[in-house]
Copies of this chain bind each other. A is one copy, B any other.
Amino acid sequence: MTSGAAAVPGWVLGVDVGGSGSRVALAPVRDSSATGSPDSGHGGMRVLHGSRVGIASRGSSIPEVVDALLDRAAAEWPGEWASVAAIAVGATGAFTLIDDPHAVVRAIAARRPGAVAALATDAVTAHLGALAGSAGAVVAVGTGSVALGTDLGSVWRRVDGWGHLLGDRGAGSWIGREGLEAAMRQFDGVSTDGGALLAAAVESFGAPETWPSQLYTRNDRAGVLGSFAGRVDALAGEGDPAAVRIMTDAGREVARTLVAALDPRLPRVASAVGGVFAAPAASTPDPGAAATAHLGAPSAASIPQPAPAAPGAGAASRGATGAFTEAFAAAVREAHPPIELRPPAGTPLDGAIRLARLLVSPTPPSGHPEHLWLALPAL
């Protein structure tokens, strides 16, 4: 049972823990995909789904969610479990909401004696998934927005991810808040271009007088705000000027966040993940519903990810009709020196599998005190 991790061909587990759900994937240590691009989809992986993470009065339920997923993995895949060489977990709030990430990652490693383990923020697994291990910057946009520029070595530059009151600029919660504020201005008679937003908000939440009690009594206010982002996006798709302005501002904000994460020591390579980049505004029969599902996810890394785009398709081009994606792409194009914007190669779950494989590779990554914690035998 104490099989040397790197020496024996076996299996790795990747875990993605987010605010809307969690997943564990099983994959071989050696990437068997035929293409030269490892982790290019879920083809080689088996996946189980688990519960979403919660936040108690003090700290996150990440350890409990991971434990439950590993219990399920051990029960579901008993043969492979015995030869799991590495477990890598990407989790929202791993830095800000866990007191002792080192203790958590050690506990994860202890679940499979002999295995090595990593705990990472969701920004790290999003990065590893989208850029497939290349150095550069990745912005992940859902209810929140966070960018990470890293070479997984000496450079780690995080931008935003500060939550709906301090930042998350351009994210779902930001868009929803802007939309509801504009609706309230219309309701209050201090502006005249928020009529469509007000009508949409009344349809979603009822009479404006009831919105405060619906919102301020909730613990997931960012999620409630984010649930309106899809309506704003849909109205922008219909050409409503106030909604177009909000979505355009949002796209620019996210671009600024991404560009700021490109530390000068990094190659000018970037990618962007999150449903808002894939939501085709106005061109689907019910763009509102589709966009809501994308934008309303409580955590950036837990957004349903689009299937990997065909090579050559820019991230922005997949939602080309949207004010958000147009503004985002235009702002990224304005950056100097120029930035190569790549379509995401994979999801954060792909990134977790990649991280697990790196752990048992000849060149495992170093840890980082704010992004990545390791439990390796040698340490």
Tell me, yes or no, whether A266 is within 8 Å of chain B by CB.
Answer: no
Q: Which of B163, B166, B257 contacts A190 (CB 8 A)?
A: B257
Asked if residues A212 and B159 are in contact (CB atoms below 8 Å), the reply is no
Tell me, yes or no, whether A109 is within 8 Å of chain B by CB.
Answer: no
Asked if residues A215 and B165 are in contact (CB atoms below 8 Å), the reply is yes
Residues of chain B within 8 A of A190, CB atoms compared: 159, 169, 256-257, 259-260
Interface positions, chain A 156-179, Cβ under 8 Å from B, are 159-160, 162-167, 169, 177
Residues of chain B within 8 A of A203, CB atoms compared: none
Please report the C-alpha to C-alpha distance between residue A165 and residue B259 in the assembled complex, in whole angstroms.
28
Tell me, yes or no, whether A66 is within 8 Å of chain B by CB.
Answer: no
Asked if residues A189 and B159 are in contact (CB atoms below 8 Å), the reply is yes
Residues of chain B within 8 A of A96, CB atoms compared: 209, 212-213
> Given that A167-B181, A180-B166, A221-B165 are contacting pairs, would A188 and B215 also be in contact in the complex, using a CB cutoff of 8 Å?
no
Please report the C-alpha to C-alpha distance between residue A137 and residue B213 in the assembled complex, in whole angstroms.
25
Closest to A222 in B: B216
Query: A interface vs B, CB < 8 Å?
Result: 57, 96-97, 159-160, 162-167, 169, 177, 180-181, 184-185, 188-190, 208-209, 211-213, 215-217, 221, 225, 256-257, 259-260, 370
| Closest-CB distance, A163 to chain B (whole angstroms) | 5
Copies in the complex: 2
Please report the C-alpha to C-alpha distance between residue A217 and residue B260 in the assembled complex, in whole angstroms.
28
Please report the C-alpha to C-alpha distance between residue A97 and residue B213 in the assembled complex, in whole angstroms.
8
Residues of chain B within 8 A of A221, CB atoms compared: 165
| Closest-CB distance, A218 to chain B (whole angstroms) | 10
Closest to A210 in B: B96
Closest to A212 in B: B163
Please report the C-alpha to C-alpha distance between residue A167 and residue B221 in the assembled complex, in whole angstroms.
15
Please report the C-alpha to C-alpha distance between residue A217 and residue B370 in the assembled complex, in whole angstroms.
20
Residues of chain B within 8 A of A212, CB atoms compared: 96, 162-163, 166
Q: A-B pairs with the 8 shortest C-beta distances?
A: A190-B256, A189-B260, A159-B188, A190-B260, A163-B212, A167-B184, A166-B184, A162-B184
Known contacts A163-B215, A165-B216, A166-B212; can you find 7 more A-B pairs with CB under 8 A? A159-B188, A165-B180, A165-B225, A166-B184, A167-B181, A190-B256, A190-B257
